[in-house]
Chains A and B, each alone.
Chain A
């Protein structure tokens, strides 16, 4: 199998606080993990690509100082939303890829719903 977990599954926080979301590949090692954001009734938008042991690559328009990504090990990547504001409320989904080839599918976590009050 290829199971990816996310924690927490949902979180409510006050404006101005920081929230950390964890993404873990449970039964495989993932050199590359991806973070997506999904608004209601819309497709997934890639935010950043997280590579183990190196800095994340952010998509254009994504604030790297606001969305901090750390890929500390081959099975764990974290996304920290710093000084969250209501407009950051969204569904955040991570994915992990088993290998480095584009041949490999991405395996997605169940998502984390963030609500900033």
Chain B
């Protein structure tokens, strides 16, 4: 079975500060991991994905995530927060043979000017 846990339902950072959104996964097979962003009243936009290639994955809008098998983590980071980064972020896992995405409960990011 696959699942993801997002620690911290709400994260606030100052504009220009480091963004760190945490995601830990559980998977009985090598996982494929994804981060999505959702702006209010919109669908989800893919930020980045890990598919067993490089462990450090770079995505759009300056975000990146590092896959750490030993820690079963896939945390999302951005060196410098921008006001436009304020949104809901979801981590998701999909097993290699699975057809489903299992989403975390989401982390709401607030950027303080």
Contact = CB atoms under 8 A, between A and B. Distances in A.
A17 to B, nearest CB: 23
A86 B21 CA distance: 35
A93 B44 contact: yes
A102 B103 contact: no
Interface stretch (B65-73, B74-82, B93-101): B93-101
Interface stretch (A64-72, A73-81, A103-111): A103-111
Contact of B97 (A4, A102, A108, A109): A102
Contacts, number: 53
B45 interface: yes
Nearest to A109: B43
A12 interface: no
Contacts of B18: none
Interface string B6-23: 000000000000000000
Contacts of A34: 100-101
B46 A105 contact: yes
B100 A108 contact: no
Contacts of B34: 105-106
A111 B101 CA distance: 17
Contacts of B51: 103
B43 A93 contact: yes
Given A43-B106, A44-B90, A106 B43 contact: no
A32 interface: yes
Interface string A86-112: 000001010100000011011111110
Given A43-B105, A43-B106, A46-B100, A111 B43 contact: yes
Contacts of B36: 108
Given A102-B32, A105-B34, A49 B44 contact: no
A111 B42 contact: yes
Interface of A: 4, 6, 32, 34, 42-44, 46, 49, 91, 93, 95, 102-103, 105-111, 113
Q: Which 7 A-B pairs have the closest CB atoms?
A: A108-B43, A108-B44, A110-B43, A102-B94, A43-B103, A111-B43, A43-B105
